[in-house]
Amino acid sequence: MAEARHQAERSIRTSPRFRIPFGAATMRTGARAGQKIEFALDSTTSMNGHLILAGSSGSGKSHQLRRIVDALGHAGVRVHLIDPHGDLQVSAGLTDSRVFSEATQAGLNPLEVASDPDHGGPRRAAVNFVSLMLRQATLGEKQRSALLRLLMDMYARYGFEPGNARSWSLDFDPRGWAKNPKRQPVLSDLKRDVHQKLVQLKIGVPGSAARALEEVCKLAKKHSTLKMRNIRGDDVEQALAAAKEKFVERISEAVNRMETGAEIEELIAWDSFDVVKGLYDRLESLEGSGLFKGEAPAFDVDRPVWRYNISAIARNEQQFFVECLLGKLFAEAKARGEANGPDTAIVLDEASAFIDSDDEHILNILFREARKFGVMVILAAQEISTFPQAIISSAASKMILGVDEMYHAALERRLALPKGKLRFIRPHRTALVQSRRRSGDEVELAGFFEVDVIG
C-alpha cells in the first residue's frame, strides 16, 4: 500500500488543454506597437487558471461566465458552477443542473471526515467545522476549543481516531464494541451532543447524567400524554421510574468519580448558557434548512458542468453551503493529487457575498494552494476593490467590464491601474483584461489592456 501511494505521489496527472479568448487588443507602445494581440485563458500559457470578472450590474459578467463555462465544459474540464441568482443556464447537453432548497433530498455533510492520509482525518474535519461555525455563531477562544474537544469526542465515538489513519475510512472500524455499522456523523448528531451540553450547563451535571436526564424527560412527556388521554401505561410508568433511578445513579457515580474536577472545568470552558444556546440554535436552523443532511448530490458524471442552483436558499445558508462545498471540492482535489494544469473549475457568481479577509477562509486557501491540484477558480462580482489583496494578486487573469464611476478610484488603486483608465471601457464592447503568462519574456504583456469583447 505504501508503495502504491508513492507511485501515486510521483505521477502528475495530465489535464485537458483549452484556450478561451477574452478578446484582442491593439498594442499602443513597445516592440509590438500597432499589432493585435489576443488575450486568453489558456491551459498551457496562463500563469494559473484563476480568473476574476468584475463589472456593474448588466455589464455582462454572467454572460461572459456562460461563454467561458461552455468552453471549459467542451474542453472536458469538470466545472462546478455555483449559481446564487439562478440565471446561469449553459448548454443543456453539457450541464447537469440541480436546485438546492429545503425540499431537496440531497445536501452536503459539513462534518464529513476525509479518508486521505495526508489531508484527511477527524482533527482536520473538526478544525474546518469550527472555522465554518465561526462565521455562523459568536464563539470566543474558550468556546472554540471546547467545541473542538466536543467534535473530537464525537468523532472518536463514531470510530474516527486522530492518530490512526486507517480509521478515517468507513471500511475500518476500530470500535470492536460497535453495534451499528460505522457511518459519518451528521449535523443532527452534533446537535444532540450540544444539547447535552446545554442540559449540563443548566443543571450542572456531568455528561452521562445529562443523557440519563434526557431519557427521564422523554419518558415523563410520554407518560403525561397517556395520562391526559386517560390511557393506562404501566410499561411507560415502569420505564420512567427506572430512568429516574438511573439518573440518580449516574449523578452519584459522577460525584464519586470526581477527583480532579476536570468535568467542571470542561463546563466552565463553555462559559455561558447563552453562547451554547446560540450555537445550538444555529445548528438547528442549519439542519432545518435541509441542505446538510449528508446525502451528497448524485450528479451525472457524463456531463462536464455541474450546476448548483442555490437561488432558493437564504443568504446565511448560501454562505455555509458554499464554504462547505468548496472545502469538500478542495479535499477531493488534494486526494486526487497533483495535475499539470486545471481539470477542475470552480465558478462562483455574485462572489462578494462569499469572500472573507481571513487567510484561512476556504476561498483564500483555494487561490493560494489549489492550482497545483488542478483546480482553477473563477469569481464574478460587481465590486472587487474589497476583495483580499491575496486573491486579486493570485488570479493570473482579470476581466473588468463596465464599472460604475463611484468605484473607479478604489478599483484603480486596488489593481494598480493608471488613474482614469476605467473611464474608457465601453460596456458590452470593450473590457480591460490582464492575463499573466508563465513565460517571463513577455513582460510588456503583463499589465491591463483594453480588448474588444467577444459577444
Ligand X SMILES: Nc1ncnc2c1ncn2[C@@H]1O[C@H](COP(=O)(O)OP(=O)(O)OP(=O)(O)O)[C@@H](O)[C@H]1O
Alpha-carbon distance values, 262 to 212, 254, 266, 267 (Å)? 20, 11, 6, 9
**Should residue 382 be labelled a site residue for Mg ion when binding is judged by CB under 5 A?**
no
CB closer to ligand X out of 84 and 120? 84
At 161, phi and psi to the nearest 5?
A: -105, 135
What stretch of H or E contains 255? helix 234-257
63 binds, among ligand X, Mg ion, none (CB under 5 to 8 A by kind): ligand X
Out of 62, 208, 289, 430, name the contact with Mg ion by CB under 5 A. 62
CB closer to ligand X out of 126 and 432? 432
453 binds, among ligand X, Mg ion, none (CB under 5 to 8 A by kind): ligand X
Cβ neighbours for 108, distance < 8 A, ≥ 6 positions apart: 291, 292, 294, 296, 321, 324, 325, 328
Shortest Å distance, C-beta 379 to ligand X: 13
At 123, phi and psi to the nearest 5?
A: -65, -45
DSSP summary character for residue 396: S
122 binds, among Mg ion, ligand X, none (CB under 5 to 8 A by kind): none
Binding positions for ligand X, rule: CB under 6 A? 55, 57-63, 382, 428, 453, 455
CB closer to Mg ion out of 46 and 62? 62
Report yes or no: 165 and 121 within 8 Å, Cβ to Cβ.
yes
Query: Which residue sits closest to ligand X, CB atoms considered?
Result: 60
Shortest Å distance, C-beta 375 to ligand X: 23
What stretch of H or E contains 368? helix 362-369
CB closer to Mg ion out of 62 and 97? 62
Residue window 6-45: x/- pattern of binding to Mg ion, with contact defined by CB under 5 A: ----------------------------------------
Shortest Å distance, C-beta 430 to ligand X: 10
Q: Which residues of 262-279 are buried (b: 16+ CB within 10 A; e: fewer)?
A: ebeebbebbeeeebbbbb
97 binds, among ligand X, Mg ion, none (CB under 5 to 8 A by kind): none
Shortest Å distance, C-beta 63 to ligand X: 3
**Should residue 309 be labelled a site residue for Mg ion when binding is judged by CB under 5 A?**
no
Give the residue among 49, 37, 33, 45 at the shortest CA–CA distance from 451. 37
Report yes or no: 76 and 305 within 8 Å, Cβ to Cβ.
no
List strands edge to edge, sheet with 449-453.
Answer: 36-42, 19-26, 449-453, 430-435, 397-400, 51-54, 375-381, 344-348, 78-83, 305-309, 95-99
CB closer to ligand X out of 48 and 59? 59
**Should residue 289 be labelled a site residue for Mg ion when binding is judged by CB under 5 A?**
no
Rounded distance between C-alpha atoms, residue 281 and residue 284, angstroms: 5
CB closer to ligand X out of 62 and 143? 62
422 binds, among Mg ion, ligand X, none (CB under 5 to 8 A by kind): none
Shortest Å distance, C-beta 351 to Mg ion: 11
455 binds, among ligand X, Mg ion, none (CB under 5 to 8 A by kind): ligand X
Shortest Å distance, C-beta 202 to ligand X: 48
Report yes or no: 432 and 425 within 8 Å, Cβ to Cβ.
yes
Query: Which residue sits closest to Mg ion, CB atoms considered?
Result: 62
Q: Is the dihedral of CA 277, 146, 141, 389 positive or negative?
A: negative
At 112, phi and psi to the nearest 5?
A: -60, 135
C-alpha cell at 309: 442552483
Shortest Å distance, C-beta 65 to ligand X: 7
**Should residue 59 be labelled a site residue for Mg ion when binding is judged by CB under 5 A?**
no
What stretch of H or E contains 191? helix 187-203
CB closer to ligand X out of 88 and 276? 88
CB closer to ligand X out of 83 and 343? 83
Interface segment toward Mg ion; rule CB under 5 A; list 3-11, 54-62, 205-213, 333-341: 54-62
200 binds, among Mg ion, ligand X, none (CB under 5 to 8 A by kind): none
Shortest Å distance, C-beta 79 to ligand X: 17
For residue 237, the one-letter residue type is E
CB closer to ligand X out of 108 and 415? 415
CB closer to ligand X out of 61 and 80? 61
Q: Angle at the Cα of 114 (from 112 to 119), degrees rounded to 5?
A: 135
Shortest Å distance, C-beta 433 to ligand X: 13
Interaction site with Mg ion (CB under 5 A): 62
